[in-house]
Structure 1
């Protein structure tokens, strides 16, 4: 089973982004275990089986859901994962 761990900023109200990603992955790749938890300010960090594949803190963008799915599918096959593609940020800028 592939595990996806998402750390998100609660202050920035990024929980819904995590819920959307989780629903997308559950629909497209049933059985994927997705955990969402509150973390650092401005964060939306995505790990697949402990490998960091996306960092909003570094990129200032959210991950592309399709790109996360492709990496989940790679991990399920035992292949190495890559950094995911990004979507532009819509709100909450770190100052």
Structure 2
């Protein structure tokens, strides 16, 4: 079984992004054990089987959820855990 753990900043509202990621992953690999934990300011730290694959604290962007799901699927199929490098596009609007 693959474990996906996400530390997210609840103050920043990143819990919504966590639930979006959880939905994408579970749609692809339903047997994944997904856990989210409120954590540090600005965080969205993604671990697969206790190995950090993506850090918003380092990149200042969210990971591409499809790439995270790809990694979970690869690990579920017996592959090795690897880092995620793709990011979601940054959207900014000034009002």
Instruction: Tell me the C-alpha RMSD between the 2 structures.
Output: 1.4
Give the greater-gyration-radius structure (CA).
Answer: 2
TM-score (norm 1): 0.88
Q: How many residues align?
A: 91
Equivalence map 1:61-76=2 (5 Å): 61-76=61-76
Deviation at 1:77, TM superposition (A): 2.5
Partner of 1:48: 48
Deviation at 1:83, TM superposition (A): 1.5
Q: Distance in 1 between matches of 2:91 and 2:3?
A: 27
Q: Distance in 2 between matches of 1:46 and 1:90?
A: 21
TM-score (norm 2): 0.88
Bigger fraction of residues in strand: 1
Deviation at 1:63, TM superposition (A): 0.8
Partner of 1:88: 89
Q: Provide Cα deviations, 1:10-69, integer angstroms capped at 9, x if missing partner.
A: 110100000011011111111111101100000000000001000000000101111001
